[in-house]
Amino acid sequence: MARKFFIGGNWKCNGTTEEVKKIVATLNAAQVPSQDVVEVVVSPPFVFLPLVKESLRPDFHVAAQNCWVKKGGAYTGEVSAEMLVNLNVPWVILGHSERRALLNESNEFVGDKVAYALAQGLKVIACIGETLEQREAGTTVDVVAAQTKAIAERISDWTNVVLAYEPVWAIGTGKVASPAQAQEVHLELRKWLHKNVNAEVASSTRIIYGGSVNGGNCKELAAQPDVDGFLVGGASLKAEFIDIIKSAETKKNA
Ligand SMILES: O=C(CO)COP(=O)(O)O
């Protein structure tokens, strides 16, 4: 099965109502490849989800940036998967490195979240990635395998999962992974899925890259055989995001 190119825009904790309206207007006016070629999902902060959802073009979709690990209730400050389903928000980003690092989300906790969100009917962008220290120690593959294992142990159906490889040292630093570095880890992840889940999941699961992706470096990254799209931070707040969406054409012709 061909893997449809996937472009996610993670807006993180940015934006005012006015800025959000402007970004949506830019996206709505853009000429981009059709939905058959690329799946586009943008992820505003929770409070802007309804506004973005109701004003965004219908061929683009929205994602939340997190959700609670189980059914909602007495968890002050959290947003449950059920609430996202209730608002018709189809996607959620889970396990982003900023949450793993700043909020101490463990591999197991992220795995539990992924399993719970999928069980509620959400589609999940599950983030994994090594720190600079781990890369320099030569443990990159072990780290991303352990992060993926904690998810794989808790789910049986990978249909609604996109795996986002985001090396921590490349996030927000302007220091993008080289196409070869990204390809190497994506291929290792696919091999891991083949060995530990099954061949079908290994060949059909989209593995996207995140970390300082921009309009200038996206094409070369997109041309790598195991790079199935991007999770874009900073550049997803700018018009440049349109160029990144268009890198799906490079992929189609690769
Ligand atoms: O964390 C990221 C996307 O989730 C990447 O962020 P930047 O594109 O700003 O490096």
- Whole-number Å distance between alpha carbons of 246 and 251: 9
Name which residue sits closest to atom 8 of ligand 1, judged by CA: 233
Angle between helices 17-29 and 240-253 (to 10 degrees): 40
Whether pLDDT at 1 is above 70: no
* Distance from the alpha carbon of residue 230 to the mean position of ligand 1, in angstroms: 9
Q: Is the ipTM of this complex over 0.90?
A: yes
Q: What is the mean pLDDT of residues 205-230?
A: 97
pLDDT tens-digit series, residues 66-114: 999 999 999 999 999 999 999 999 999 999 999 999 999 999 999 999 9
* Distance from the alpha carbon of residue 177 to the mean position of ligand 1, in angstroms: 12
Burial of 108-118, coded b for 16+ CB within 10 Å and e otherwise, reads ebbbbbbbbbb
Q: Is residue 251 very low, low, confident or very high in pLDDT (cuts 50, 70, 90)?
A: confident
Q: Which amino acid is at 159?
A: T
> Tokens representing 164?
């986002």
* Distance from the alpha carbon of residue 252 to the mean position of ligand 1, in angstroms: 24
Name which residue sits closest to atom 2 of ligand 1, judged by CA: 233
Give the DSSP per-residue string, 11-29. --S---HHHHHHHHHHHHH
Q: Which of 43, 91, 127, 232 is the best mutation target for the ligand 1 pocket, counting ligand atoms within 8 Å of the beta carbon and taking the most?
A: 232
Give the residue numbers marked as catalytic: 96, 166
